[in-house]
């Protein structure tokens, strides 16, 4: 059913006039030739075989500016000339590619050594599959017959993707030009913390990268091993990750709640972080790690609102989590406990802080998505599905489509569990929501659970272009 919904959403998006296409240009397309690849011989045939290679991609903890991850790469190759004559070859290494956003980042710190001696490189260009001239580094190597030659390459690789996810790649297929098979290949991605199903996409993708099948997680490492392979596209290394800066915040908040289990602010921040890395641009993660992250977010928010029952923003953040889960996971299920709980949490938030921009933005979206769920009493929302007797008209069938979120900015984490600033919580700019009265009158909200009727057999309604153009509200922190 999830695939059907995504197909419907794709069909809708294709029907939008071309004048609206700028709003979705941030979608990432697959790169053509990622910087980082097996050495490639010149165009001439060769008797030199790649006996072994060992590639280590060390993902760094810190990044610079808006770069989505940095990794230091070292690759060691053992080459052997199987022929009877010395070969002098111009060996090549790719330096740039289309990063998916029509930008061409270039490696500028490539270092090459042959038999432990540094060698210089020269710049050459080749056309990629889009006929764009890409730079390659080229250097000369002599391969005496029957002798092993060691070639070492190191450089810095930048990640590609969209916060809070990144991906790194390394091409194996460029090694197909060498004689015979590659004897053995060991590829390792090393993280600055333990690798697990929450921070590594094992069997799914955030949309612009994936993790090559056959990965083995061991401590801080993700590993692949091959024997006697003729390198093809299926052997290319790719790994999709939670951005290190985002996961490090998770680890910090996990320590905070361990140190003080009664810190409601820390539980709220942790729930918010789990929520951010459990959802994608137009969906939620459907891998095991993503589903578990939703449950972990649910538990953290529940802790936050139980410890801080009068905190409107943690109630609202909890409601957002539940509503997203309803839309992507409970939509076609007979029971929808998440939707009802979302209404209760949002009702509490609205009662506590009726003029908050984040709460009003969430109310506005739900009002558009679920006709009849909310009423308006003047300029104030009334939770019809919580205060009225359910009828056959109260069918929780969304009339919206999921829209691209704003690119998030990493949230700073206080060193001590002090109250969280408003800018780091469930907030949106005030100009994104409808006006509300300065002193709204209080409308009682039912605290007892009112049952919602099962989903009726109505189809997904195509939303208006205006609703499609509006980006789905997301917290800027």
How far separated are the first and last CA of the chain, in Å rounded?
A: 32
Close Cβ partners of 93 (under 8 Å, ≥ 6 residues apart): 37, 39, 40, 110, 112, 121, 136, 137, 138, 153
245-469: in CATH 1.25.40.10: yes
Q: Which of 2-6, 276-280, 292-296, 443-447 has the lowest mean pLDDT?
A: 443-447
Average pLDDT value over all residues in the chain: 75
Residue 63 above 50 pLDDT? yes
Mean pLDDT, residues 285-298 taken together: 92
pLDDT digits (tens, 9 = 90+) for 189-226: 999 999 999 999 987 888 777 899 999 999 999 999 99
Q: Is the pLDDT higher at 61 or at 461?
A: 61
Reference 153, options 36, 232, 236; nearest CA is 36
pLDDT digits (tens, 9 = 90+) for 230-270: 888 888 888 999 999 999 999 999 999 999 999 999 999 99
Which pLDDT does position 292 carry in this prediction? 95
Calpha distance 321→298 (Å, rounded): 8
Which pLDDT does position 36 carry in this prediction? 66
- Cβ–Cβ under 8 Å, residues 169 and 69: no
Dihedral of CA atoms 432, 413, 341, 289 in degrees, nearest 10, equals: 110
pLDDT bracket for residue 136 (50, 70, 90) = confident
Which pLDDT does position 420 carry in this prediction? 57
Mean pLDDT, residues 14-34 taken together: 27
Calpha distance 420→427 (Å, rounded): 12
Residue ranges matching CATH 2.60.40.3680 in the chain: 32-242
Mean pLDDT, residues 141-158 taken together: 94
pLDDT bracket for residue 271 (50, 70, 90) = very high
Which pLDDT does position 126 carry in this prediction? 80
Close Cβ partners of 37 (under 8 Å, ≥ 6 residues apart): 93, 94, 170, 171, 172, 174, 175
Class of domain 32-242: mainly beta
- Cβ–Cβ under 8 Å, residues 161 and 99: no
Dihedral of CA atoms 305, 311, 312, 317 in degrees, nearest 10, equals: -50
Q: Is the pLDDT higher at 26 or at 363?
A: 363
Residue 57 above 90 pLDDT? yes
Calpha distance 316→360 (Å, rounded): 10
Which pLDDT does position 158 carry in this prediction? 86
Q: Is the pLDDT higher at 11 or at 228?
A: 228
pLDDT bracket for residue 69 (50, 70, 90) = confident
- Cβ–Cβ under 8 Å, residues 262 and 179: no
Calpha distance 373→386 (Å, rounded): 8
pLDDT bracket for residue 162 (50, 70, 90) = confident
Which pLDDT does position 93 carry in this prediction? 85
Which pLDDT does position 100 carry in this prediction? 61
Q: Is the pLDDT higher at 7 or at 187?
A: 187
Report the 10 Å Cβ neighbour count for 259.
Answer: 11
Q: Which of 138-142, 322-326, 340-344, 398-402 has the lowest mean pLDDT?
A: 398-402
Close Cβ partners of 43 (under 8 Å, ≥ 6 residues apart): none
**Reduced 3-state DSSP string for the chain:** CHHHHHHHHHHHHHHCCHHHHHHHCCCCCCCCCCCCECCECCCCCCCEEEEEEEEEEEECCCCCCCCCCEEEEEEEEEEEECCCCCEEEEEEEECECCCCCCCCCECCCCEEEECCEEECCEEEEEECCCCCEEEEEEEEEEECECCEEEEEEEEEEECEEECCEEEEEEECHHHHHCCCCEEEEEEEEECCCCCCCCCECCCCCCCCCCCCCCCEEECCEEEEEEEEECCCHHHCEEEEEECHHHHHHHHHHHHHHHHCCCCHHHHHHHHHHHHHCCECCCCECCCHHHHHHHHHHHHHHHHHHHHCCCCHHHHHHHHHHHHHHHHHHHCCCCCCHHHHHHHHHHHHHHHHCCCCHHHHHHHHHHHHHCCCCCEEECCEEECHHHHCCCCCCCCCCCCCCCCCECCCCCCCCCCCCCCCCHHHCCCCCHHHCCCCCCCCCCCCCCCCCCCCCCCCCCCCCCCCHHHHHCCECCCCC
- Cβ–Cβ under 8 Å, residues 304 and 267: yes
Reference 154, options 52, 75, 69; nearest CA is 75
Backbone angles phi and psi of 284, in degrees to 5? -120, 160
Q: Is the pLDDT higher at 290 or at 459?
A: 290
Which pLDDT does position 15 carry in this prediction? 30
pLDDT digits (tens, 9 = 90+) for 404-440: 333 232 222 222 334 455 545 654 332 232 233 233 3
Mean pLDDT, residues 360-365 taken together: 92
Q: Evaluate if pTM is beyond 0.75.
A: no
Residue ranges matching CATH 1.25.40.10 in the chain: 245-469
Characterise 320 by phi-psi region: left (phi > 0), alpha (psi -120 to 50), beta (else): alpha
Q: Which of 131-135, 333-337, 382-386 has the lowest mean pLDDT?
A: 333-337
Which pLDDT does position 390 carry in this prediction? 42
Residue 106 above 70 pLDDT? yes
Q: Is the pLDDT higher at 104 or at 238?
A: 238
Which pLDDT does position 403 carry in this prediction? 29
Residue 355 above 90 pLDDT? yes
């Amino acid at each position: 059913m999830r695939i059907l919904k995504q197909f419907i959403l794709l069909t809708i998006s294709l029907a939008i006039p071309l004048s609206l296409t700028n709003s979705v240009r941030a979608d990432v397309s697959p790169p053509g030739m990622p910087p980082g690849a097996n050495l490639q011989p010149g165009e001439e045939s060769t008797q030199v075989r790649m006996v072994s290679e060992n590639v280590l991609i060390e993902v760094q903890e810190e990044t610079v500016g808006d770069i989505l991850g940095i990794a230091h790469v070292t690759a060691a190759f053992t080459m052997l000339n199987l022929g009877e004559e010395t070969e002098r070859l111009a060996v090549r290494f790719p330096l740039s590619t289309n990063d998916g956003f029509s930008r061409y980042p270039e490696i500028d710190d490539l270092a090459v050594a042959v038999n432990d001696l540094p060698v210089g490189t020269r710049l050459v260009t080749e056309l990629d599959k889009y006929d764009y001239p890409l730079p390659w580094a080229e250097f000369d190597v002599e391969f005496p017959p029957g002798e092993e030659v060691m070639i070492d390459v190191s450089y810095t690789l930048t990640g590609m993707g969209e916060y809070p996810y990144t991906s790194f790649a390394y091409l194996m297929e460029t090694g197909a030009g060498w004689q015979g098979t590659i004897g053995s290949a060991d590829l390792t991605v090393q993280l600055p913390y333990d690798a697990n199903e929450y921070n590594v996409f094992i069997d799914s993708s955030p949309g612009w990268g994936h993790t090559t099948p056959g990965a083995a997680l061991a401590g801080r490492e993700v590993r692949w091993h091959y024997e006697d392979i003729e390198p093809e596209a299926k052997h290319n290394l790719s790994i999709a990750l939670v951005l290190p800066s985002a996961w490090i915040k998770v680890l910090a908040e996990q320590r905070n709640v361990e140190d003080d289990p009664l810190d409601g602010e820390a539980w709220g921040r942790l729930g918010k972080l789990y929520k951010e890395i459990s959802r994608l641009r137009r969906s939620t993660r459907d891998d095991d790690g993503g589903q578990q992250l939703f449950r972990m977010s649910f538990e953290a928010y529940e802790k936050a609102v139980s410890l801080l029952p009068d905190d409107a923003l943690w109630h609202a953040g909890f409601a957002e989590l539940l509503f997203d889960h309803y839309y992507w996971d409970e939509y076609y299920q007979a029971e929808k406990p998440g939707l009802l709980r979302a209404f209760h949490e949002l009702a509490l938030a609205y009662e506590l802080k009726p003029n908050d921009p984040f709460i009003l933005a969430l109310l506005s979206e739900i009002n558009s998505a679920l006709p009849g769920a909310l009423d308006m009493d003047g300029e104030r929302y009334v939770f019809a599905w919580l205060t009225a007797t359910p009828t056959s008209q109260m069918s929780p069938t969304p009339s919206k489509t999921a829209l691209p979120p704003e690119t998030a900015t990493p949230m700073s984490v206080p060193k001590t569990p002090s109250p969280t600033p408003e800018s780091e919580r469930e907030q949106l700019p005030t100009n994104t929501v409808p006006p509300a009265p300065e002193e709204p009158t209080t409308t009682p909200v039912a605290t007892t659970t009112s049952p919602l009727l099962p989903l009726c057999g109505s189809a997904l309604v195509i939303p208006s272009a205006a609703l499609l153009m509006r980006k789905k509200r997301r917290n800027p922190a």
